[in-house]
Chain A
């Protein structure tokens, strides 16, 4: 798979700490018929970054930008992790051995054939190394086009 196939386009939105901003983002996406598949929020005391996996990431960037939001997109890996105690720990352990730093991660609300779907952000320079580790460890990477349809 090429990097555009392995990496999902995650949409990031800058959110200042003001009530109603999160709702506005979701409403803008809703009006454009864009479906949110997974999300997480990283925040400090005065601002946050909303990270979204949606079915149409390019459209999402466009509608959010035209609604005045500061938007970016970032490549993240979607992995199938066995949904059992220790499943995630095993995968992180393998990555740790190869010194791959996971900058952040969050999970989908759904599972695939009993596996949890977890999104990982690793440094761009660590991508090839990460893919190698995952392949050796037997952790399936879900191609991006399939992720958008989950």
Chain B
């Protein structure tokens, strides 16, 4: 029997009622997490009469999540947790998110809803080109593909030649991919004399994981001869696909039966007017293992006004328009400059100053880190200096989970680490 999803047809009133009931449940569940017990002590079910009453609850920041590691935010018995994901950084900055079996099912339902809305069915061959592992991009869509009954190919990212081989051999019709990698694939096809719109069967592409422009979407659509749909998510809220575009391609419908959305002014923390840009703040409404209340995503976006042409009452988010912190997204992976600083502390041969440069040769992000070689570490032996470069690159790769080019500089040439110096130069042209 084809997969179906009733929550997509909820009316606005039904969503509001559900949200009130589920927010009450969430508060009760969250109390069981040590990090929330005290902060929610004064809140009772009667305090929550409408979704707007969420404002009576405390905000949760990434810093608090980090302080609560590893178990402070766990609200279910450890034995009920069947999976965890781990975000952004291998050391001090990373946070774990736990899932019960039910949490994973509901996450898959969110993603499947978005896939279904744009016509993906059990007849599709779904090639999931997002990284599998601690990063949520791969697994999140994988189980949704299976839930819908798609033949799901866990291709993960990289190895472009094999990706295209898979698409050709198995007649792939649906992709999930980061936009810059989609361009990379098009570039590769071009070189190999393959015309994707003629030689491949791809008709639907889900993109996410990094900010991208409308122009870039159109380029991918033209190149593949396919429809490209934007999706949003973050590991703290499960992962990708909690908000996805419908066929109207005009904003991403949040699964409001599962998440409560606020868009706040990041300074005053007051709600912004509908349609105005603000920080996306989300509350999980159904999560058992790791309920999060008013989580500040640091993503800047708009709540789109009026109803969508598709008729869904689930409200829409605009594409992400920035961050309130210094987080960078490189090849779909979140990177904080602080992680670079931390990694360099482990390398005696270089100082603490650094500059990160991002560019996008041939449509793929490249990150270089300029570091200063200390006087003492200088050697006449080119091989040793090259080996040092490689060693720093490996250290950064371990910390950041992406490959990095290291450039050696003379001491005193880079801006000092304590000032308000520019440490990130982003030359990636988002418009191209």
Instruction: Flag if A47 contacts B385 (CB, 8 Å).
Output: yes
CA distance in complex: A71, B375 (Å): 7
Contact of B375 among A10, A44, A46, A65 (CB under 8 A): A65
Complex contacts, A42 vs chain B, CB 8 Å: 382
Complex contacts, A16 vs chain B, CB 8 Å: 407-410, 413
Report if B378 contacts A (CB, 8 A). Answer: yes
Instruction: Flag if B410 contacts A44 (CB, 8 Å).
Output: no
Report if A106 contacts B (CB, 8 A). Answer: no
Instruction: Flag if B407 contacts A46 (CB, 8 Å).
Output: yes
Report if A51 contacts B (CB, 8 A). Answer: yes
Instruction: Flag if B378 contacts A71 (CB, 8 Å).
Output: yes
**How many of chain A's residues touch chain B, expressed as a range?**
20 to 34
Please indicate which of the listed interface residues A46, A51, A71 has the most CB atoms of chain B within 10 Å of its own CB: A46
CA distance in complex: A73, B413 (Å): 22
Contact of B378 among A10, A14, A18, A21 (CB under 8 A): A14
| Known A65-B375, A68-B412, A70-B373: A47·B407 in contact at CB below 8 Å | yes
Report if A138 contacts B (CB, 8 A). Answer: no
Report if B4 contacts A (CB, 8 A). Answer: no
Instruction: Flag if B408 contacts A46 (CB, 8 Å).
Output: yes
Q: Which residues of chain A in 56-74 are interfacial with respect to chain B, using CB atoms and an 8 Å cutoff?
A: 65, 68-74
CA distance in complex: A80, B355 (Å): 46
CA distance in complex: A57, B409 (Å): 24
Interface string of A4-33 (1 = CB under 8 A from B): 000000101011101001000000000000
Instruction: Flag if A72 contacts B379 (CB, 8 Å).
Output: yes
Q: Shortest distance in angstroms between B259's beta carbon and chain A's nearest beta carbon?
A: 45
Report if B380 contacts A (CB, 8 A). Answer: yes
Interface string of A81-114 (1 = CB under 8 A from B): 0000000000000000000000100000000000
Q: Which residues of chain B in 373-403 are interfacial with respect to chain A, using CB atoms and an 8 Å cutoff?
A: 373-375, 378-382, 385-386
Report if B411 contacts A (CB, 8 A). Answer: yes
Q: Does more than half of chain B's interface fall in helix, strand or loop, or is it mixed?
A: loop
Complex contacts, B375 vs chain A, CB 8 Å: 65, 70-71
Complex contacts, A18 vs chain B, CB 8 Å: 413
Complex contacts, B380 vs chain A, CB 8 Å: 10, 12, 49, 51, 72-74
Complex contacts, B410 vs chain A, CB 8 Å: 14-16, 21, 68-70
Instruction: Flag if A44 contacts B382 (CB, 8 Å).
Output: yes
Contact of A70 among B378, B382, B407 (CB under 8 A): B378
Contact of B411 among A10, A44, A70, A72 (CB under 8 A): A70
CA distance in complex: A128, B407 (Å): 36
- Nearest neighbor of B411 in chain A, beta-carbon distance: A70
CA distance in complex: A18, B410 (Å): 10
CA distance in complex: A42, B379 (Å): 12
CA distance in complex: A70, B411 (Å): 8
Interface string of B348-379 (1 = CB under 8 A from A): 00000000000000000000000001110011
Q: Shortest distance in angstroms between B375's beta carbon and chain A's nearest beta carbon?
A: 5
Q: Shortest distance in angstroms between B32's beta carbon and chain A's nearest beta carbon?
A: 53
- Nearest neighbor of A11 in chain B, beta-carbon distance: B380
Q: Shortest distance in angstroms between B425's beta carbon and chain A's nearest beta carbon?
A: 15
CA distance in complex: A47, B412 (Å): 15
CA distance in complex: A68, B374 (Å): 11
CA distance in complex: A44, B408 (Å): 10
| Known A14-B373, A70-B373: A47·B408 in contact at CB below 8 Å | yes
- Residue pairs across A and B with Cβ atoms less than 8 A apart, 10 shown, are A12-B380, A14-B378, A14-B410, A47-B409, A51-B380, A68-B410, A68-B412, A70-B378, A70-B411, A103-B381
B interface list, Cβ under 8 A from A: 373-375, 378-382, 385-386, 407-413
Extra inter-chain contacts (14) besides given A16-B413, A70-B375, A70-B410, CB under 8 Å: A14-B378, A16-B409, A16-B410, A18-B413, A42-B382, A44-B386, A46-B407, A49-B382, A51-B380, A65-B375, A68-B412, A71-B375, A72-B378, A73-B380
A interface list, Cβ under 8 A from B: 10, 12, 14-16, 18, 21, 42, 44, 46-47, 49, 51, 65, 68-74, 103
